[in-house]
Structure 1
Amino acid sequence: MHTVLDWIDHAADDRGIHFSDSVTGWSFVSHSTLAGEAHRVAALLHAHGAQPGDVVSLLVNEVRDFAPAFLGTMLAGLTPAPIASPLTFQGNDRYTEHVTDVLKVAEPALVLSDASLAEIAEKTSAQLGGGNVILLEESAGLSVGDSARRTPAELGLLQFTSGSSGSPKGVRVSRDNLAANVRSIHEWLGTTAADSCSSWLPLYHDMGLIGTFLGSLTARIDLWLMSPLDFVRNPLRWLEAHGRHGATMTTAPNFGYGYTAKRVRPQDLEGMDFSHWRVAMNGAERIDPRAAAAFAALLAPHGFRTTAFAPCYGLAEATLAVSGVTPGSGARTVRLEGGLHTGRPVVPTGRGELGTVHPDGGASWLTSCGPAVPGAAVDIVDEDGAVLPEGHFGEIRVRGTSVAGGYRSRVPDASSNFTDNGLRTGDAGFLLEGELFVVGRVGDSIKVRGRKVHAEDLETGLTAVDGIPSGRCAVALGTTGEAHHVVAVVEAGDSGWLDGALAVIRAATDDTVRVTVVRAARGGIPRTSSGKPRRRLLWRRFQDGAALGEVVHGTAPAAPVTG
């Protein structure tokens, strides 16, 4: 495979994408049909004066329309820059602000939009004096011709990060990065022509775009594709892709497995067979063994095996995949003794396997994300960048053919550093017997009596408290002067959980840490386009004295906090 478009020259009629359809269930579009649509989009872009290497921002809401829009942009020799859909934004104003921020960085020659988002595209592009807005629907009447195709742009993709650590940044992913990472994924998973894949992840996000969409196209296998909203409304449909239609692989964040286990009833699975489901990737956020155990227990009577779980680690700055558990081998979990100290060894006191029930439910356990995928190398480094021995805690550094060429950004961010020695990810973790364990973000932590306390650890502990819904809490950590702060925001209707929440926080810190607990309405936690809590924004709002909700413990600053 030289590029991720090689498949298009031999696009099949009997392989393709099954798009989720609320009317008929699934609507099949063959690879050959998709290739024809992509050619028409390429012709449309050229008709509007696109030049080789131009950036084209994609503002397309529907999954069915995004597929040809993205492929047509690449086919035209242009660089696609996908923009998140409005789904995860609370209100039109916030979404318009996000689109404006992305367009400022992308500086596109053209904006390709569907009719539903055309007004926002026109408004934001005009404000910035940017590229012309083209309606995707105009491509329908164009003829398909080889003249529409160009050599793929050297900059294969401008992938915007979700913005969890600040303003969105465009990662410059080359066409060679894309091809190398997709090859790595296929080799890691052992993908064959007998496989087929399912996904409900958004295509503007690297995990859905590269891991499943481009992955299935380049492997020339079927993809059962839902929108995130379709999944939230009916997670059973996702399971049907495997239990009734034979899909063998999927990828989802931890949330997806836990949500499905809560929403789907055992009787809903009658007649389904999951014995051929061989890969269930789990990534993009902290893995909670409780969610995996509940999911496995639900599906096990119908043939699902826990060895299908394949936790993985990746980031846009490395195109996507960095490490992953080998399918079929089982994913290890460990419990550690004491706190984590940068540069010092970790001490495992318990071992388990993902998908099984753990002592204490699994809240205090970490899950292996496997060894590095082919073409990648992972080190753990200290604060000065020196490589640490295996089993020591520090920052994750990545090297290899998939590491991108840096950012296209107006706001430099030191949390992810592209250096001559590799990519310093800003994520904390350790290697154990050659496998990577991810703890959390380096910046989302405080040091208490010499050991690191991570926001993700506290969030995992809080979701084990009765009355706190899964995924409905966020923790911001920070320091003012010599005082450390823990600010916990919980979206819940009452405060019956407060004592349990304080016990979790105090067990991980000490009496010197100032704790503020806030009860917020649903939707009160600011989130990124991929649904992750924006912890640094929470911290800034706390410092500025902004109302986060009802303070049920501690005090919120009445005036900006300085330090």
Structure 2
Amino acid sequence: MPIADRSLLQWLDDAAPDRGLRFARPDGGWDFWPYPRLRELTLRVAAGCAARGVGEGDVVAVVQRCGPGFVASLFGAIAAGATVTSIAPPFAFQRGDDYERHLSHVLGIARPALTVTGGADLGRVAPVAGRAGLAAPVRFEDLVAGTRPVPPAEHRAGTALLQFTSGSSGFSRGVRIPARALAANVNAIRRHLRLAPDGPIINWMPVHHDMGLIGGLTTIVVTGCDGWLMQPEDFIRTPLRYLACISEQRVRFAPMPNFGLAYILRRVPPERLAGLRFDSLRAIILGAERIDPRVLEGFERLLGPHGLDRRALTPAYGSAEATLAVTMLPLDETWSTAAPDGGSAPLVGCGRPIAGTGVRVVDTQGDPVPDGVTGQIVVTGASLASGYAGGAGTASGTSVGGGVLNTGDAGFLRDGQLFVLGRLGDGLKVRGRMVFAESLEARFCELGIPERRAAALLGVRDGRPTAAVVLAAPRPDWAEIARRVLAEHVADADLLAITVPRAGLAVTSSGKPRRRVMWQALCDGTLQGEIRPLAPAGTGAP
């Protein structure tokens, strides 16, 4: 049956009482919020926004964890005709000073007319907002206290969402997502996955990240299906609870980064899956980071005996500047790998463009390259951002405007499918061939360095090609593993090892390494850690 488009707020008019969102409780239970109850709370938020003078063109910043209040704040701000931005709460940062710098930066860009927080975070957010010259943040409970639901405003064709990038190449950038672009991307995802109200979805990814916010929450609510929502630490603490929910509730769709699958493989032994079934899963949508084929194979081995169809593993590629999804493997198609012309390890394909989106790969002059040839990924289509808030300067190489997104990502096409190598700013040309940091990090993992414990930095330092590895609280054998990998792939470069504490690896709020930030600190002499040569330049010693 064809999947009809839905507007962002259509669910308010046809809220089904027998469907809704279930939020994980710490005691192992779930709090059920049917859609009519969420509708009332959402329209009370809209009333609270109006009572505080929030209107068209204003920004509402939501600094909350995923819960009924967050859902109501997100859709309530849109229902009030405002622009909403989801900002990470303090839990997403390991160090308080890192959080304060991030919050100060994003609030300075967003300049919200209203900031809504969870009660526990008000004390952390209020001082930063005050120093930025902004109005005092409001607790969610105070925002809706004494309000009565009001009809939603007719949202203009302006910005519905101010979405912040992960900041892997520097500070986060504020991306303006028009209402029409947000609706277009959500509906393209729904059509691609054939989402219907009878298809339950589970999500644990944080809602300050585009994949968690749009793929793991907004798409659920717009569709009107049942959603099972966990906090990130719920998944980290008990991944078996996540798997048991899929089995017991016959969940069909689950967005997930590669890291999540790898974590399940490490933490859940096969014997713990006795009695569970995963034949209901139609798609585990894999995005946000490079996908490791060994992880996909391991996940098939773990869950396959319990009914998982390998076609349910659904790689995808996206960008904050494209709202979210750009390409996705079609349902019922098995994932595959391919290598670009000229070598390098095979990569997992990220599928084909979703409806309303175009993808091409171009050379440095902007001309399309043949199939199999590496170049920059360029995106067009209805889901693109209208531009950036604040300054557009960045070290990432990404830009959007005039209906074109230059992603700053390197990739190639093969028979219409997109394969992604990594960031163009995170590469080094060696003997006429580009080597990418993500490829080196994947090799580190293959040889025993855990994911997210090592970051590769590549560039030219003091006039010399340089390859460095930053190791977080390493075991004694990691430096030798890194030396062998770097010597194999970038033998003509100066090779360095940098040892930092467990929390010393600079990462974004979604856990991605901030390679450009660490590289700049290395060049400036401000990178904290023990720095030592790994091997003489040009030796290529194995």
Normalising by structure 2, we get a TM-score of 0.94
State the match for 1:290 in structure 2: 294
The 2-side partners of 1:78 and 1:421 are apart by 24
Match of 2:512 among 523, 527, 532: 532
Match of 1:488 among 451, 469, 478: 469
Q: Is the 8 A contact 1:444 1:454 kept in 2?
A: yes
Q: CA deviation at 1:62?
A: 4.7
Q: Which amino acid aligns with 2:155?
A: P
Q: Is the 8 A contact 2:167 2:508 kept in 1?
A: yes
* Aligned CA distance change for structure 1 residues 421 and 178 (closer, same or farther; 3 Å): closer
Q: Which amino acid aligns with 2:411?
A: G
Pair 1:479-2:464 in alignment: no
Q: CA deviation at 1:406?
A: 0.9
Match of 1:82 among 81, 86, 95: 86
The 2-side partners of 1:265 and 1:2 are apart by 41
State the match for 1:391 in structure 2: 372
SS at 2:409 equivalent: strand
Q: CA deviation at 1:393?
A: 1.0
SS at 2:507 equivalent: coil
Per-residue CA deviation, residues 181-234 of structure 1 (Å, 9 max, x unaligned), is: 011101111112331101101111111111121111121111111111111111
* Aligned CA distance change for structure 1 residues 419 and 173 (closer, same or farther; 3 Å): closer
Pair 1:229-2:211 in alignment: no
Q: Is the 8 A contact 2:286 2:316 kept in 1?
A: yes
Pair 1:365-2:369 in alignment: no
State the match for 2:409 in structure 1: 427
Q: Which amino acid aligns with 1:325?
A: L
Q: Is the 8 A contact 1:380 1:395 kept in 2?
A: yes
Q: Is the 8 A contact 1:111 1:132 kept in 2?
A: yes
Q: Is the 8 A contact 1:54 1:108 kept in 2?
A: yes
State the match for 2:153 in structure 1: 150
Pair 1:259-2:263 in alignment: yes
Q: Provide the aligned C-alpha RMSD in A.
A: 1.7
1:149-168 alignment, distance < 5 Å: 149-153=152-156, 154-168=158-172
Per-residue CA deviation, residues 385-420 of structure 1 (Å, 9 max, x unaligned), is: 112222221000000000110111325236112244
Q: Which runs of 5+ in 2 are unaligned?
A: 536-542
The 2-side partners of 1:282 and 1:38 are apart by 30
Match of 1:12 among 10, 16, 26: 16
State the match for 1:269 in structure 2: 273
1:58-77 alignment, distance < 5 Å: 58-77=62-81
Per-residue CA deviation, residues 500-551 of structure 1 (Å, 9 max, x unaligned), is: 22111111112x2011012322111011011100001111121122343233
Pair 1:410-2:413 in alignment: no
State the match for 2:539 in structure 1: none
Q: Which amino acid aligns with 1:118?
A: L
State the match for 1:197 in structure 2: 201
Q: CA deviation at 1:16?
A: 0.7
State the match for 2:523 in structure 1: 543
The 1-side partners of 2:308 and 2:464 are apart by 49
Q: Which amino acid aligns with 1:224?
A: W
Match of 1:454 among 422, 436, 446: 436
The 2-side partners of 1:52 and 1:472 are apart by 44
* Aligned CA distance change for structure 1 residues 121 and 86 (closer, same or farther; 3 Å): closer
Q: Which amino acid aligns with 2:98?
A: R
State the match for 1:464 in structure 2: 446
1:344-359 alignment, distance < 5 Å: none
* Aligned CA distance change for structure 1 residues 255 and 441 (closer, same or farther; 3 Å): same
Q: Percent identity?
A: 37
The 1-side partners of 2:218 and 2:415 are apart by 32
* Aligned CA distance change for structure 1 residues 553 and 76 (closer, same or farther; 3 Å): same
The 2-side partners of 1:446 and 1:493 are apart by 25
Hey, which bits of structure 1, 4+ residues long, moved more than 3 A?
A: 61-64, 335-340, 551-555
The 2-side partners of 1:88 and 1:404 are apart by 25
Q: Is the 8 A contact 1:469 1:492 kept in 2?
A: no
Q: Is the 8 A contact 1:61 1:116 kept in 2?
A: no
The 2-side partners of 1:502 and 1:105 are apart by 41
Q: Is the 8 A contact 2:317 2:328 kept in 1?
A: yes
The 2-side partners of 1:34 and 1:302 are apart by 35
Q: Is the 8 A contact 2:452 2:513 kept in 1?
A: no
State the match for 1:401 in structure 2: 382
State the match for 1:343 in structure 2: none
Q: Is the 8 A contact 2:457 2:518 kept in 1?
A: yes
Per-residue CA deviation, residues 25-64 of structure 1 (Å, 9 max, x unaligned), is: 2221111111111111111111111122211111113534
Match of 1:331 among 308, 328, 335: 335
Q: Which runs of 5+ in 1 are unaligned?
A: 341-363, 556-563
Pair 1:315-2:296 in alignment: no
The 2-side partners of 1:499 and 1:24 are apart by 43
SS at 2:353 equivalent: coil
Match of 2:58 among 15, 38, 54: 54
Which stretch shows the higher mean deviation, 61-70 or 213-222?
61-70
- Between the two proteins, the alignment pairs up a number of residues equal to 529
The 1-side partners of 2:477 and 2:75 are apart by 51
Q: Which amino acid aligns with 1:501?
A: A
* Aligned CA distance change for structure 1 residues 419 and 51 (closer, same or farther; 3 Å): closer
Q: Is the 8 A contact 1:339 1:452 kept in 2?
A: no
Q: Is the 8 A contact 2:328 2:353 kept in 1?
A: yes
Q: CA deviation at 1:476?
A: 1.2
